[in-house]
């Protein structure tokens, strides 16, 4: 029974991401699929959380205060999301059989990975989970050392802007669930589901409505993930410790942005705005994004610009990379000035 709430919370998370996706698509005037709304709603959700968290965190406010603020924002998400949802009729393009198989595969993968009790690097787990647990225990926002429980004199530059673990602490505070259950069951499952939802988006991009090819693509992708294990691969980080910020960076941020960039080079000029959203949300999820997001954007868009000789498109690459200036300067400033 103790596991029931963490499992129910997975559905709550996904529903909130979906509503954020509805708000996003409404705001940008886009018609998109449900998987798209869930994935990019995730980025909007965490961008909002970052906006709400960063000042209370810097001012060392209490976790309770942040939780109250976040409840207000979630109420607004619910009000606007449901309102827009009612006003727009959702259409599902793919066949019902394909949707069923896709959901089943993602469910099986999530269930399989959830039966794993091992984690490779105890020190990383002790940071990510310890920070959540310590924040809840001390009613603070990452103001204590997760390893010792001692009060920090200053924030660590590598983690100050990361709010993923602060979100888990808020969830633990609101629902009174242990940090280990929120992080290693709820958040872990959510990240697995989100990543394979992005792969579903890719399958649609590559094979459109050919259901057999799309299913085969998803099955083979999952199979390869299960068999490409070493300490450093993207798949290992997702499968073994999918709740860590680096798992989000390696899987959800990179693939989420890559999907947008691929659509852009296919000729969807307007999609760059979603790329900016991913970029803005990314450093609140993992600081490595400061490097990875600009590198990936440049790697895809600069050759595209040269090949197509459309040099005016450089500005879109700049728009996507621009949000990284703030965390980049802040990171270097904190690192060298403290």
Report the C-alpha gap between 306 and 215 in whole angstroms: 35
Q: Check: CB of residue 172 under 8 Å from CB of residue 182.
A: yes
Complex with another protein: residue 91 or 266, whichever CB lies closer: 266
> Could you tell me the smallest distance in angstroms from the CB atom of residue 147 to another protein?
5
Binding residue (CB under 8 A) for another protein from 39, 52, 239, 274: 239
Length of the chain: 338
Q: Is the dihedral of CA 91, 94, 97, 99 positive or negative?
A: negative
Complex with another protein: residue 74 or 129, whichever CB lies closer: 129
Name the one range near another protein by CB under 8 A: 58-66, 81-89, 100-108, 252-260. Answer: 252-260
285 binds another protein (CB under 8 A): no
122 binds another protein (CB under 8 A): yes
DSSP state of 30: -
Residues in contact with another protein, shown as a per-residue x/- string from 147 to 166 under the rule CB under 8 A: xxxx------xx--------
Nearest to 265 by CA among 204, 316, 225, 338: 316
Nearest to 46 by CA among 164, 186, 196, 218: 164
Binding residue (CB under 8 A) for another protein from 13, 46, 221, 283: 221
Helix H segments across 208-253?
211-227, 234-241, 245-247
Binding residue (CB under 8 A) for another protein from 47, 254, 260, 320: 254
Grouping H, G, I as helix, E, B as strand and the rest as coil, residue 151 is strand
Q: Check: CB of residue 277 under 8 Å from CB of residue 40.
A: yes
Complex with another protein: residue 91 or 118, whichever CB lies closer: 118
126 binds another protein (CB under 8 A): yes
Name the one range near another protein by CB under 8 A: 40-48, 54-62, 276-284, 292-300. Answer: 292-300
> Could you tell me the smallest distance in angstroms from the CB atom of residue 157 to another protein?
8
């Amino acid at each position: 029974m103790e596991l029931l709430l963490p499992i129910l919370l997975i559905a709550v998370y996904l529903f909130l991401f979906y509503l954020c996706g509805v708000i996003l698509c409404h705001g940008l005037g886009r018609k998109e699929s449900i998987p798209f709304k869930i994935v990019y709603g995730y980025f909007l959700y965490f961008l909002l959380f970052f906006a709400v968290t960063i000042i209370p965190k810097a001012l060392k406010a209490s976790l309770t205060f942040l939780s109250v603020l976040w409840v207000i924002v979630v109420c607004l998400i619910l009000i606007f999301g449901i309102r827009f949802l009612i006003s727009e009729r959702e259409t599902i393009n793919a066949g019902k059989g394909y949707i069923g198989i896709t959901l089943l595969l993602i469910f099986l993968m999530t269930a399989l990975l959830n039966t794993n009790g091992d984690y490779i690097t105890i020190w990383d787990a002790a940071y990510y989970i310890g920070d959540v647990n310590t924040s809840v225990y001390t009613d603070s926002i990452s103001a204590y050392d997760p390893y010792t429980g001692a009060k920090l004199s200053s924030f660590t530059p590598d983690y100050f802007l990361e709010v993923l673990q602060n979100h888990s602490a808020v969830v633990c505070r609101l629902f009174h669930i242990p940090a280990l259950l929120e992080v290693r069951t709820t958040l872990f499952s959510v990240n697995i589901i989100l990543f394979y939802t992005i792969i579903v988006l890719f399958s649609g991009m590559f094979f459109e409505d050919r259901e057999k090819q799309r299913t085969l693509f998803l099955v083979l992708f999952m199979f390869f993930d299960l068999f490409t294990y070493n300490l450093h691969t993207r798949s290992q980080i997702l499968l073994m410790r999918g709740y860590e910020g680096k798992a989000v960076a390696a899987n959800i941020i990179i693939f989420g942005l890559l999907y947008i960039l691929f659509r852009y080079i296919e000729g969807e000029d307007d999609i760059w705005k979603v790329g900016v959203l991913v970029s803005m949300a990314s450093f609140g999820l993992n600081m490595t994004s400061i490097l990875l997001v600009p590198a990936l954007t440049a790697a895809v868009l600069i050759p595209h610009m040269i090949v197509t000789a459309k040099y005016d498109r450089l500005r879109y690459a700049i728009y996507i990379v621009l949000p990284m200036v703030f965390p980049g300067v802040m990171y270097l400033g904190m690192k060298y000035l403290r």
